[in-house]
Amino acid sequence: MTIYNFSAGPAVLPQEVLKKAQAESLNYAQSGMSVMELSHRSKEFDAIIKAAESLLRELMDIPDNYKVLFLQGGASTQFSMIPLNLAKGKKAYYHVAGSWGKKAYTEAVKLSQTIDFDPILLASSEAENFDHIPSFDSSAIDPEAAYVHITTNNTIEGTAIYDLPDTNGVPIVADTSSNILAVAYNVADFGLIYAGAQKNIGPAGVTIVIIREDLLNDEPVLSSMLDYRIQAGMFSLLGA
Ligand SMILES: Cc1ncc(COP(=O)(O)O)c(C=O)c1O
């Protein structure tokens, strides 16, 4: 029996991928064990994470001045990790066109009670049940702000942004969880792109962060696990 799963995630995986995983489940790459039993310090896993990065770079045409991180904690952890690393002492704008954008903003507001930064609601279509992408005046954006956060596809309402807005020169940070690899965005137009893998890429458990190198935090943040520079320096293997 075949089940056609149209839910937003976990997504369907290609049969050939599942068959390959099945065939290799007792002995991955002549290691004598399954991929699930490999050490993250092993040469086999090193090859896996490097190949995943290189394929993603190829598929998204990611420029060399961007780091690719494979992190834990879901896209939801990024709602706090982004302001923690990028926004210290600055303004951070939120464009809210759906439930996930609202969650990102709500988490930022929560964090701003303990970390010094200023989350600002740039525009919201909540009053109309998120039935459209709200517009805003880009000249109202402080050019010194840390970022403008957008959600390229609000999974629940389906409000999607294909053409990126003018943000007055401020880097765009985008939650692309439900349309990463389905829409060909130009990575160089973003400061940071993030996505939980389980909707468009693979099984749950990994979150992709693509960050322009000059946005990596100068100062250590609250926790090493939540620190982009430390994670980038350790090829995402901290705490793995
Ligand atoms: C657009 C968007 N952002 C964030 C999330 C949360 O992702 P996670 O479950 O990986 O924390 C989801 C999950 O549905 C989503 O669709």
Q: Decide if 105 contacts 179 (C-beta within 8 A).
A: no
Contact 100 CB / ligand 1 (< 6 Å)? yes
Q: Tell me the best of 155, 200, 207 to mutate to test the pocket of ligand 1, counting ligand atoms within 8 Å of each CB and taking the most.
A: 155
pLDDT of residue 236 exceeding 80: no
Cα(45)–Cα(28) distance, rounded to whole angstroms?
10
For the residues 56-65, what does the mean pLDDT come to?
A: 98
Integer angstrom CA distances of residue 214 from 65, 118, 229, 231? 8, 21, 10, 15
Mean pLDDT for the chain overall: 94
- Protein residue closest via CA to atom 10 of ligand 1: 74
- How many residues in total does the chain contain? 240
pLDDT digit string, tens, across residues 125-137: 999 999 999 999 9
Could you give the residue numbers annotated as active site? 100, 175, 199
The whole model's pTM is what? 0.95
pLDDT of residue 222 exceeding 90: no
Contact 10 CB / ligand 1 (< 6 Å)? no
CA angle 81, 86, 91 (to 5 degrees): 115
pLDDT digit string, tens, across residues 87-130: 999 999 999 999 999 999 999 999 999 999 999 999 999 999 99
Contact 78 CB / ligand 1 (< 6 Å)? no
Question: Which atom belonging to ligand 1 lies closest to the Cα atom of 153?
Answer: 1
Q: Decide if 228 contacts 217 (C-beta within 8 A).
A: yes
Cα(123)–Cα(125) distance, rounded to whole angstroms?
7
